[in-house]
Amino acid sequence: MTMPTDERLRLERRIKELEDQLDMEPLHDLESSSELDEHGNELHATPYQATSLKNAASGYAGLTGATKLLLAHMQEVMAYADLTDDPIPGLIATHAAIAAAHHAKYTNNEAIAAIEGEATLALDGAITEIHGDANFTLSISGGNPGMDVGAQDWWEYNRASDYFSWFINNTERARLSAAGLLADTITELHGAAGVTVEGVLVKDGLVDGIDVAALDAAGIPLIIDGSGSEITDGIKGWVEVPFDCTITAGSLFADQSGSIVVDLWVDSYANYPPTDADSITASAPLTISGAIKSTDSTLTGWTKTLTKGQIIYYNVDSCTTIEKVLVSLLVTRT
């Protein structure tokens, strides 16, 4: 069976390409066959010496068994229906498909995207990143997980008690739990802004513009009235302490110039009534001496702490001329 002309021409071109690659020389002295093309013209095939004869013994010292055009090569060429087919791209595609994993190379953004796409990212141990002169350590297993920022600052989660803590300069500054935020000091972040808690502005010692510290100051007063006569000695009245507080001063205001000494007895509800043995003024009871008023903020030897619910008895030790007097105790809430 005769090979079609166009296939024969393609085969000859392919052989010529292989010949050029292997530095083969055509032998024109060998007898060749001829055929007619479709127009009746004679076609001449270029004769070639058998590759088995192109060896060192035949004067082709540059050829070896590895560089000859072997029969297997010719069979490979003849196996292609279209001599322009190139198997290399197909082989590359096959290799890439099989070994995709060891060819994978992520850019930073691709790596981040790949991690973010994971439903669960399981890490264990401590992850440390050194950036410039700062040392950041993220602890995610064992003990209390957290993150260190330098040697003295960190935050951590307390597994046993279920709360977060923030440490600055090795001291716990804040704690967050289901009960809320715990901190010893809360300071405004931006100057003159104050701190707002549930709609209440705390700023410069004021709560919604009110001086809270001033509200801690209070007075416990009692008027001793002689009903138009000089006040006699003895117990003249009593009051219940309304809140825990500390006495800061004691004063007397009389209706006229004279002298008077007032002692204070204090005891609990359970031990009511107080007695002279329960005096809180030591050797310095409130005293007016030849005057209309007096005040004492030193309170030497006094028991100045009062507890809500205690009872204060006012006892006049002595009095001259004065018929009415206001006994005033200044206190600070505690």
Is residue 46 in a domain?
yes
Residue 176 DSSP SS3: strand
- ∠221-243-215 over CA atoms, to 5°? 75
Q: What is the mean pLDDT of residues 64-88?
A: 58
Q: What is the mean pLDDT of residues 265-291?
A: 97
Is residue 157 in a domain?
yes
Is residue 211 in a domain?
no
Note down the domain range covering 294.
217-333
pLDDT tens digit string along 144-154? Answer: 788 887 778 88
Predicted local confidence at residue 154, as pLDDT: 84
Considering only residues 94 and 224, tell me which one the structure prediction assigns the higher pLDDT: 224
Q: Is the dihedral of CA 267, 268, 274, 277 positive or negative?
A: negative
Predicted local confidence at residue 4, as pLDDT: 65
Burial class (CB in 10 A: 0-12, 13-18, 19+), 219: exposed
CATH number, domain with residue 262: 2.60.120
pTM > 0.85: no
Residue 94 scores a pLDDT above 90: no
Domain total in the chain: 3
Is residue 98 in a domain?
no
Predicted local confidence at residue 311, as pLDDT: 98
**For residues 310 and 331, what is the distance between their CA atoms, to the nearest angstrom?**
14
Considering only residues 138 and 324, tell me which one the structure prediction assigns the higher pLDDT: 324
Q: What is the mean pLDDT of residues 106-124?
A: 70
Is residue 210 in a domain?
no
pLDDT tens digit string along 218-271? Answer: 999 999 999 999 999 999 999 999 999 999 999 999 999 999 999 999 999 999
Is residue 190 in a domain?
no
pLDDT tens digit string along 199-210? Answer: 888 877 777 777
Of 35-44, 151-160, 182-191, the one with minimum mean pLDDT is 35-44
Is residue 309 in a domain?
yes
61 and 164 inside one domain:
no
Last residue of a domain, one of 138, 166, 183: 183
Residue 101 scores a pLDDT above 70: no
